[in-house]
């Protein structure tokens, strides 16, 4: 029996997941397909009932469902509960297990693509949505020393900073305007763009949240946005002489972790990168 995997989201647009996971399934000779499953919020509960069938291995979960699926799971991994988001579901004997692989994928991307260890670092995290939450919790666990959440709405920045506080880890919050960022960005070892600014097809596709003159040449700039591969933010970082890494690495590494949870196999990482890059080019 051919097994089924897929991705839930709405709208799904041009998801890279079918190409990326499809390549891994083919190379490993696993009899399974990976499909895009555009699922409006009012159809999510029904879709998850179908997920319990024996031919379904699991699914990726993307916007706007990462929080909504939580009460529909039988079991939630401690990491997903702490972050408050599920981006990976595994079907195990008709029971649905919820995981968060975004956080682990983010840290692996920093370590493997940029040779950056967050331990002891000073970080500015731009954004306060789901991607920012995953990055913030991941950075706390990886030993970041200082973190500032910068967001357009101060209330959301303060809320995320508050959720992240633990022991001596006391994140701050600020606006995303130039004056606010000028107080923190020049001193950051790591600047993470977890907003949609600079995303292809987004409302601010040609803009960067930070200009080059604020970025230290010793910093690492990481953009969670992966299309285009070089965003305006990464171009500003390069102009500043800083290192710049795009979000495709986080997407692939969270997918690597998910693939293991679904199949028990280590996927071919290079083939997943290649398929994802090909899918980005094909979506121009």
The overall average pLDDT reported for the chain is: 96
Task: Judge whether residue 242 has pLDDT over 70.
Answer: yes
> Which CATH architecture does the domain made up of 3-100+249-282 adopt?
3-Layer(aba) Sandwich (3.40)
- pLDDT attached to residue 187: 98
Calculate what percentage of the chain has a pLDDT beyond 90. 95
| pLDDT tens per residue, range 56-81 | 999 999 989 999 999 999 999 999 99
Contact between 43 and 69 (Cβ < 8 Å): no
| pLDDT tens per residue, range 28-66 | 999 999 999 999 999 999 999 999 999 999 999 998 999
Q: How far, in Å, CA of 64 to CA of 67, rounded? A: 8
Q: Which residues of 78-114 are buried (b: 16+ CB within 10 A; e: fewer)?
A: ebbebbebbbbbbbeeeebbbbbbbbbbbbbbbeebb
Q: Where along the chain do its domains lie?
A: 3-100+249-282, 103-246
Two domains, one topology: 3-100+249-282 and 103-246? yes
Half-sphere exposure of 19 (CA within 13 A, CB side): 18
**Active site annotation includes 49:** no
pTM: 0.95
Q: Which CATH number fits domain 103-246: 3.30.450.40, 3.40.50.720, 2.40.50.140, 1.10.1660.10?
A: 3.40.50.720
The SS3 assignment for 192 reads: strand
- pLDDT attached to residue 274: 98
Active-site pick, 66, 95, 260, 281: 66
């Amino acid at each position: 029996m051919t097994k089924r995997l897929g991705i839930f989201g709405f709208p799904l647009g041009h998801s890279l997941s079918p190409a990326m996971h499809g390549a891994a399934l083919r190379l490993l000779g696993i009899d399974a397909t990976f499909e895009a499953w555009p699922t409006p919020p009012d159809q999510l509960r029904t879709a998850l009932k179908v997920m319990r069938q024996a031919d379904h291995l699991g699914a990726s979960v993307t916007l706007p469902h990462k929080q909504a699926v939580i009460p529909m799971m039988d079991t939630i991994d401690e990491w997903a509960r702490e972050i408050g988001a599920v981006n990976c579901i595994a079907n195990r004997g008709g029971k649905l297990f919820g995981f968060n692989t975004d956080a682990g994928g983010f840290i692996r991307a920093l370590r493997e693509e940029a040779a950056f260890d967050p331990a002891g670092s000073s970080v500015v995290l731009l954004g306060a949505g789901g991607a920012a939450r995953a990055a913030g919790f991941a950075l706390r666990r990886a030993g970041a020393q200082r973190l500032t959440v910068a967001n357009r709405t101060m209330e959301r920045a303060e809320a995320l900073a508050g959720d992240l506080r633990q022991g001596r880890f006391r994140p701050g919050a600020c606006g995303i305007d130039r004056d606010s960022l000028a107080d923190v960005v020049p001193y950051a070892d790591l600047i993470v763009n977890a907003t949609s600014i600079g995303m292809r097809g987004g409302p601010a596709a040609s803009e960067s949240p930070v200009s080059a003159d604020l970025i230290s040449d010793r910093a690492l700039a990481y953009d969670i946005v992966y299309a285009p591969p070089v965003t305006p933010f990464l171009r500003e970082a390069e102009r500043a002489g800083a290192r710049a890494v795009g979000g495709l690495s986080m997407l692939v590494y969270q997918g690597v972790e998910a693939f293991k949870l679904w199949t028990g196999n280590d996927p071919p990482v290079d083939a997943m990168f290649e398929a994802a890059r090909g899918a980005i080019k094909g979506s121009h």
